[in-house]
Amino acid sequence: MDISSPSAISTDSNKLTLFIEGDDLYQSMLNDIANAQHTIQLESYIFAYDEIGKQFINALITRAKEGIVVQVNLDAAGSMFIRQGHKFFTLRKNGIQLHWFHRWNWRKPFKYNQRNHRKLLTIDKQIVFIGGFNIHRESSLQYFGEQRWRDTHIRITGALASVAADLFEHFWQGDHRWLPPSITDADSQLIPNNTRHCRFQLRCMLEAMFTSAKKSIFLTTPYFVPDRYTQRLLQDAAQRGIDVRILVPRKNDVKLTRWAAHAAYDGLLSSGVKIYEYLPRMLHSKTIIVDGNYATLGTANLDYRSFFLNYELNIFTRDHKTCKQLQGDFYTDLTFSEEIHKKKWNNRFWAGRILEFIGWLARRWL
């Protein structure tokens, strides 16, 4: 793999396994937690005190009591409701190291807007899980039913897991922009979005993906609020004959974000970009596949918050099996989606245009 940025985090000899069902993912994570020999490191934006969250709490407490080093880093805003009622005091009482990321501080109010959006689990520096799944019942068929969120996560074994553990440890210690030296001969690499070399690393990586595309760009994101430069990259790709398709949810848990997304539709559709809205349920997956042989997935949305504010973590890979499966999943999702046609979009009600304007004004805060 050609990695132009010196801040890329790379390694080879990894085994990648994809998950698109929460129950399967959670069971795999719990199994690996149960088999940990030395360390368990967990980061999550949302960690709910529900049927899923309680399973993880019990599993982590059990391992901590058995002498395993357990570190849990939760975002104070994303998991703010579970802090009420002191639900997590039992973690510290049972030997778990617990950290709340960027709790509210009147002296530093702007820090509260910068969230840790990473979803990361490392086991013994040998196994790592990253992706879009939070720890909550909304992603479980068993507990939430057919309307569970559609998401994507990946399990990695091999040298890349050690890199992920180092990333966790430095982040835990407060070094939020640390990364190890590059290894430029790998098929897969971990990329945080805020490094000493580049403040907006993920945005730069996506720029390289879009400009190097030869045939296709298939993009899935739940929160689609791209800055104007990223919009132009997608428009330019479509105008030079690249098959650019964007999949977003029809059902969104943040309505203002959906209005802001609509504000970008006009220019994209006019340039030949195809936009689809996923119909059955909430779409929370964050994946991009270029030319069927280069892909990224992780925690970053295609929006201002992921590009410029939050802390995110993605894997970029040329692993043939993973790229093929992600592209297959994308095609499957399209069969449950409705394409937005420009003619019909131009005839939308005036009220919708006003909501788009309001959403776009708020784009940097969504």
Is residue 322 assigned to a domain?
A: yes
pTM > 0.75: yes
Distance of CA 185 to the CA centre of its chain: 25
How far apart, in whole angstroms, are the C-alpha atoms of residue 159 and residue 89? 34
Catalytic option among 75, 119, 125, 333: 119
Out of 117, 125, 136, 153, the active site residue is 117
Contact partners, residue 99, CB within 8 Å, separation at least 6:
71, 72, 73, 74, 172
Q: Which one has a higher pLDDT value, 172 or 79?
A: 172
| Number of domains making up the chain | 2
17 within some domain:
yes
Q: Provide the 10 A C-beta neighbour count for residue 92.
A: 12
- The candidate with the shortest Cα–Cα distance to 31, out of 118, 164, 157, 166, is 157
Query: Is residue 286 flagged as an active site residue?
Result: yes
- Residues 204, 169, single domain; the answer is no
- 86 a catalytic residue: no
Range of the domain at 268: 190-366
Query: Per the residue annotation, which of 187, 262, 286, 319 is the catalytic one?
Result: 286
Verify that 253 and 287 share a domain, yes or no. yes
Among 124, 151, 303, 319, the active-site one is: 124
Same domain, 275 and 358: yes
Choosing from 32, 151, 187, 291, which is the catalytic residue? 291
Q: Are 219 and 113 within one domain? A: no
In single-letter form, the type of residue at position 117 comes to: H
The pLDDT tens digits of the residues spanning 256-305 come to: 676 676 778 888 999 999 999 999 999 999 999 999 999 999 999 998 88
Q: Same domain, yes or no, for 198 and 330? A: yes
| DSSP string over 282-295 | -B---EEEETTTEE
Whether residues 251 and 358 fall in one domain:
yes
Q: Say whether pLDDT at 4 is over 50.
A: no
Q: Which of 136, 153, 262, 284 is catalytic?
A: 284
User: Hey, CA dihedral for 338, 340, 341, 346, is it positive or negative?
Assistant: positive
Residue 317 maps to a domain: yes
Each residue of 179-207: pLDDT tens digit? 766 554 578 999 888 776 667 888 889 99
Q: What is the structure's pLDDT at 3? A: 37
- Cα distances (Å, whole numbers) of residue 331 to 153, 202, 325, 327: 17, 25, 10, 6
Q: Has residue 143 been placed in a domain?
A: yes
The bridge status of strand 224-225 relative to strand 337-340 is: unpaired
CA–CA dist 99, 83 (Å, integer): 12
Q: Which of 292, 291, 294, 207 has the alpha carbon at shortest distance from 242?
A: 291
With respect to residue 295, please indicate whether it lies within any of the assigned structural domains.
Answer: yes
Does the residue 180 lie in any domain? no
- Mean pLDDT, rounded, for 105-113: 67
Same domain, 76 and 15: yes
Q: What SS3 class is residue 329?
A: helix
Whether residue 76 sits in one domain with residue 144:
yes
Answer yes or no: is pLDDT of 332 > 80. Answer: yes
Sequence-ordered alpha helix ranges (H) in 119-254: 141-144, 159-172, 201-212, 228-239
Same domain, 136 and 226: no
**pLDDT of 48 strictly over 70:** yes
* The pLDDT value given to residue 361: 56
Question: 3-class SS at 120?
Answer: strand
CATH code for position 139: 3.30.870.10
Q: Say what the pLDDT of residue 305 is.
A: 86
In the residue annotation, 319 being an active-site residue is answered as no
What is the rounded average pLDDT for all residues in the chain? 86
119 is catalytic: yes
Please say if the pLDDT value at position 5 is more than 80: no
